[in-house]
Amino acid sequence: MSTMTTMTVAQLLAAAAAQGVERLDAQLLLLHLLGRPSGDRAWLLAHDSDALDDDLPARFAQLCSRRIAGEPVAYLLGEKEFHGLGLQVDARVLVPRPDTETLVDWALDCMQGRVAPAVIDLGTGSGAIALAIRHARADARVTAVDRSADALAVARINAQRLKLDVRFAEADWLAGADTGFDLIVSNPPYVAAGDPHLAALQHEPLGALVSGPDGLDDIRCIVDRAPAHLVDGGWLLLEHGWDQAEAVRTLLAARGFVQVQSRDDLAGIARCSGGIWRTVK
């Protein structure tokens, strides 16, 4: 008699559900272990009585336990889809959020009508924003910076795998950056230190999340320094917290940006704010 544990697809998914793993998460983890693409959920349904043995049930149980302990699915899979791109991610970078696609779409709108626009992504992390922009606009000259060498290593791997030409630099926001950008875009840390929401984000890099007592330290710094690096008519676009739109618009207007406005995320919450810099007023 074999001592191997044999379980069917349906049994494995039922065990995961009993552990408290969400159905979609469990399906993605199982497809990952089977070496199948994440779009293959229909395959699981069609094969729910297939028996899986060897060490697969044990490896699946292990991933489920890590998920229950709060690790993002993206880290367990080692990848995350963002704006149509498959990005490699791990604990060195914040997991790209679907809401940030709003920022990319807005950035692309701002680039319309500009030929070979110069763009810089501040705090690029996995490279998500910079790579999505470069992918959508092959003529854009895209720079991406991060103060974390660890994060930049991940971003560089993503650029290489996706064959997208982005220039990377290790820098603290705009320190040492060129001038003359058509667009500065950033999803900086914006969570207030001590925010109870941080407990749910404990597996992600704190440096990518927290920004002083009100969460606005980095945004204040970027708003203050951006004008020196923008062309006349250049845009600054920032992602921020669900309750920070008014504060960020006030900062932008006070610094002298015009056409200051916000855009909603997928949940209808004003999640990004930006404005245009005019050198000739």
Minimum Å gap between C-beta 204 and ligand GLN is: 8
Q: Does 97 bind ligand GLN (CB under 6 A)?
A: yes
**Cβ 98 to ligand GLN shortest distance, Å:** 10
Q: How far is the CB of 70 from ligand GLN (least distance, A)?
A: 13
Site for ligand GLN in 178-207 (CB under 6 A): 187, 189-191, 201
Looking at beta carbons only, is 189 or 234 nearer to ligand GLN?
189
Nearest-approach distance from CB 199 to ligand GLN, in angstroms: 11
Nearer to ligand GLN, 88 or 186 (CB): 186
Nearer to ligand GLN, 85 or 103 (CB): 103
Give the three-class secondary structure for 203: coil
Is 80 an interacting residue with respect to ligand GLN (CB under 6 A)? no
Shortest Å, Cβ 155 to ligand GLN: 15
Taking the least distance from each CB to ligand GLN, the nearer of 57 and 244 is 244
Total residues in contact with ligand GLN, by rule CB under 6 A: 7
3-state secondary structure of 70: coil
Rounded least distance, CB 80 to ligand GLN, Å: 13
Nearest CB to ligand GLN, comparing residues 69 and 267: 267
Binding positions for ligand GLN, 123-142, rule CB under 6 A? none
275 binding ligand GLN? (CB under 6 A): no
Which H, E and C letters describe the chain, residue by residue? CCCCCCEEHHHHHHHHHHHCCCHHHHHHHHHHHCCCCCCCHHHHHHCCCCEECCCHHHHHHHHHHHHHCCCCHHHHHCEEEECCEEEECCCCCCCCCCCHHHHHHHHHHHHCCCCCCEEEEECCCCCHHHHHHHHHCCCCEEEEEECCHHHHHHHHHHHHHHCCCEEEEECCCCCCCCCCEEEEEECCCCECCCCHHHHHHCCCCHHHCECCCCCCHHHHHHHHHHHHHEEEEEEEEEECCCCCHHHHHHHHHHHCCEEEEEEECCCCCEEEEEEEECCCC
Residues 207-246 that bind ligand GLN (CB under 6 A): 209
The β-bridge relationship of strands 118-122 and 181-186 is: parallel
Cβ distance to ligand GLN smaller for residue 93 or 174 = 93
Instruction: State which residue, 41 or 147, has the beta carbon closest to ligand GLN.
Output: 147
Q: How far apart are CA 58 and CA 21, in angstroms?
A: 15
Binding site for ligand GLN (CB under 6 A): 97, 187, 189-191, 201, 209
